[in-house]
Amino acid sequence: MTRGPLPDADPPVREVDLRLAGEWLARHDLADAGPTPLLASRLAVRRRARLAAHIILAVLIIASALAATFDRFAGSVRPWPLLVLAALVAGLLLAQSLLDWWVRRVDQRAGATLSRRAAHLVQPGWRAVLGRPYAVFVVATFAGAMVLAGSALALPDPTVRQLAVVLLIGLLGVTAITVMQLRHLLRRPVVAQDEESLTADVIMRVEDARELTTPSVQWSLPMVLLFGTAPGWWSAAAVVYLILGLVALIALQARMPSSVTVARRVMSV
């Protein structure tokens, strides 16, 4: 990796970003590589993009809860809150695409400053970056949330059905955002000059994939919208769904190899 400053970086790399990059390397057994402006800028943009992505998901949850609250107090079923929510989901998808473009642009500019690229370039696929167990977990979590929404949609209570529609829109929105992020993650260019920087690139991919597939919205949205309003059996099913998901996630994190181990395996191929 280059040891000089990024000539076209705007803004320039800050001292705090270099310090955080050094701490990141130490946590991943790469302290001998030393923090560089290239790595610091890439990690910094990912921290900011990750924070913005969390804000996007929080806005989605709050907007869904507001739409549900309006229906509860309005006393009648009205379509316009759903239309507003659908428009908001489209806007959030656009915001997420702009975030992905920003991260990709920083990577492209960082790659342009390299005097040479790594001789052994790799483009890890989804099996290496995410892993089959995580992929199965993500699909099962989405399927469980959709089953909860579909069962609420089949109930005779019009208020519960309206809330189920809100839940479906929110779930489809967050799923589209997640798919968009994964697509960007798998297609973004490899930015590396030597073995250490290539290992760091793979580690960043694995950590990003595992974080963005954590189903916080899929777990929280049914509880926010329908818990206590739907029948007791539905609330009990939602609690069971949440507990099983947490147990599965804890087991995955305990049994899956660390991001450093995954990166070493990719490098050994």
What tens digit of pLDDT does each residue of 213-260 get? Answer: 888 888 888 887 787 778 889 989 999 999 999 999 999 988 888 888
Where does the pLDDT of residue 269 fall: very low under 50, low under 70, confident under 90, or very high at 90 and above? low
Element of type H or E holding 78: none
pLDDT tens-digit map of 35-52: 888 888 888 888 898 888
User: CB–CB of 36/3 below 8 Å?
Assistant: yes
Residue 76 pLDDT grade (very low, low, confident, very high; cuts 50, 70, 90) = low
Reading the block at residue 31, the tokens are 């302290």
pTM: 0.74
Contact assessment for residue 230 and residue 160, using Cβ atoms and an 8 Å cutoff? yes
- Distance between CA 176 and CA 209 in Å, rounded? 15
Residues whose CB falls within 8 Å of the CB of residue 195, separated by 6 or more in sequence, listed in order: 118, 120, 267
- Cα–Cα dist 143/12, whole Å: 44
**pLDDT tens by residue, 120-160:** 456 778 888 888 899 999 999 999 999 999 999 988 888 78
